[in-house]
Amino acid sequence: MTLAGMDLALIYNPQLQAFDLALSGSDLATDDTLASSVLVSLMCDRLAEPYEVQPGQDRRGWWADAYADNEHKTGSRLWLLEREKQLPGVVLRCKQYCEEALQWLIDDGLATAITVAVFVPRMGWLVALIAFAINGQSRNFRFEFDDARQVWRLAGESNAI
């Protein structure tokens, strides 16, 4: 499955909560799938609305959004869920935050549909299953949040026909 553009491939390190460029031998690896775009969209911190944080608390956000000429904001607000209890409302907000962060892929024509399912497999864990429809095929990602370590991680990805 190939998309129109070519990106540098990224690797997300959940322990450091940081990205690194992937290598292919001694060269930088490239990526023509959604993997790097999905990682940036979900793992970068989107700017919180003023009412979502306490006065004086850091609203975070992607630094380059201050220079963007449109309303698109990079990243997700998943970081707001890090200290939440596992309540049905939190599961719903996780789903909404994922959909919001990935909507640009539909708007830009890279995907025709995105389906997000979120559930709690056991205490202290939150899982987001994300499926993208692209040219009649599906690309699937599984993201997990470990409450004990307070980190999100990409737990798996696959193609399906």
H or E element that contains 94: helix 88-107
What are 1-24's pLDDT values in tens digits?
344 456 788 777 767 777 788 888
Here the tokens at position 142 are: 């599984």
What are 100-123's pLDDT values in tens digits?
999 999 999 989 999 999 999 988
CA neighbor of 49 nearest in space, from 72, 85, 77: 77
Q: How far lies 6's CA from each of 29, 33, 36, in Å?
A: 10, 8, 10
Global pTM reads 0.82
Q: Is the pLDDT of residue 33 over 80?
A: no
